[in-house]
Amino acid sequence: MKAKQVSVFIENREGRLEEVLSAIKAAGVNILSLSLADTREYGLLRLIVSDPAKADKALKEGGFSSMLTDVLVVRLNNEVGSLQDLLCAVAKEKINLEYMYGLTIEKAGKASLVIKASDLDKAAVVLKKAGAELLSNEEIVSL
Element (H, E) at 51: none
pLDDT averaged over every residue in the chain: 92
- Burial (0-12, 13-18, 19+ Cβ within 10 Å), 103: buried
C-alpha 47/C-alpha 114 separation (Å) is: 10
**Cβ of 6: how many Cβ atoms within 10 Å?**
27
Q: Which residues pair with 68 in a beta bridge?
A: 6
Q: What is the pTM of this model?
A: 0.86
Give the pLDDT band of residue 107 (cuts 50, 70, 90).
Answer: confident
Give tens-digit pLDDT for 22-39. 999 999 999 999 999 888
Please determine whether the domains at 3-70 and 71-141 fall in the same fold group of CATH. yes
Give tens-digit pLDDT for 53-79. 999 999 999 999 999 999 999 999 888
For the cut 90, the answer to whether the pLDDT of residue 1 exceeds it is no
Beta strands in the chain (DSSP E): 3-11, 31-38, 42-49, 65-77, 97-105, 110-117, 133-135
- Enumerate the domain spans of the chain: 3-70, 71-141
pLDDT of residue 106: 79
Looking at domain 3-70, does it have CATH number 3.40.50.2030?
A: no
58 vs 13, which has greater pLDDT? 58
Looking at domain 71-141, does it have CATH number 2.60.40.10?
A: no
Phi-psi region of 85 (alpha: psi -120 to 50; beta: other; left: phi over 0): alpha
